[in-house]
Amino acid sequence: MMMELNDYQYENATATLMFSHEEIQERVETLAHEIDAYYEAQGIEEIVLIGVLKGAFVFLADLVRHLKTNVVMDFIQVQSYEGTESTGNVQFLQDVRCDVKGKNLLFVEDIVDTGYTLQEVRTNFQHRGAGDFKLVAMFDKAERRLVDLQADFVGFEIPDKFVIGYGLDFDEKYRQLPFVAELKLK
Ligand code: XMP
Ligand code: MG
């Protein structure tokens, strides 16, 4: 079989490069400026950044190092118990420690797909009296959306492909890749 230049071979899979490390870094920096500009225009000086584990940890770490807005950080871990598709049945495995009442929340997600996960999270935090709910997602599979949920800030919109790297996993593997690639099982 012909090896493409941008293909990476793994034990059970081939990964085709979608975004290089450099492209990602450049976009994340711009995204941070967009976020700063938004909060500055709103006159908001401090936000609570809530990372959605596990996938968002790499993106969040890069993003915060470019943000000028004052942030405090917290994390949640959620799981939509299902087979391979999201079901909207979202379970909290880890919750925030801070009081979110009246706070300006910015959720940080690796990827939004059907939107079920973040829709459930949004409803949950609205019930707790969050002041403002915003969402930044590094990747957005907009064409896959099944519910009325939009990310306020998006790194890259991508087609309906399964991607790995930059925090995104297949079966918990490949999160450490510094680039993002489409996964094709062998
Ligand atoms: P929903 O459908 O609720 O799902 O918006 C969001 C979650 O689904 C996972 N997801 C992916 N994970 N590569 C991954 O590694 C992908 O291409 C992908 N698409 C969706 C992810 O956990 C996200 O938080
Ligand atoms: Mg995952």
Encode pLDDT of 36-69 as tens digits. 999 999 999 999 999 999 999 999 999 999 999 9
- pLDDT level of residue 146 (50, 70, 90 thresholds): very high
Q: Residue 70 is encoded by which pair of tokens?
A: 């004052």
Q: Residue 11 is encoded by which pair of tokens?
A: 């034990």
Q: Does residue 3 have a pLDDT over 60?
A: no
Q: Which ligand is nearest to the CA of 149?
A: 1
CA of 170 to the centre of ligand 1 (A): 10
- Judged by DSSP in three states, 52 sits in strand
Taking the CA of residue 168 as reference, the ligand 1 atom at the shortest distance is 15
- The answer to whether 181 and 15 have CB atoms below 8 angstroms apart is yes
Alpha-helical segments (H) within 65-184: 116-127
Query: Which residue type occupies 151?
Result: A
Q: Whose CA is nearest to atom 17 of ligand 1?
A: 162
Q: Is residue 57 within 6 Å of ligand 1 at its C-beta?
A: no
- pLDDT level of residue 84 (50, 70, 90 thresholds): low
CA atoms within 13 A on the CB side of 184: 9
- pTM for this one? 0.93
Residues 69, 24: Cα–Cα separation, whole Å: 21
CA 104 to chain CA mean position, Å: 18
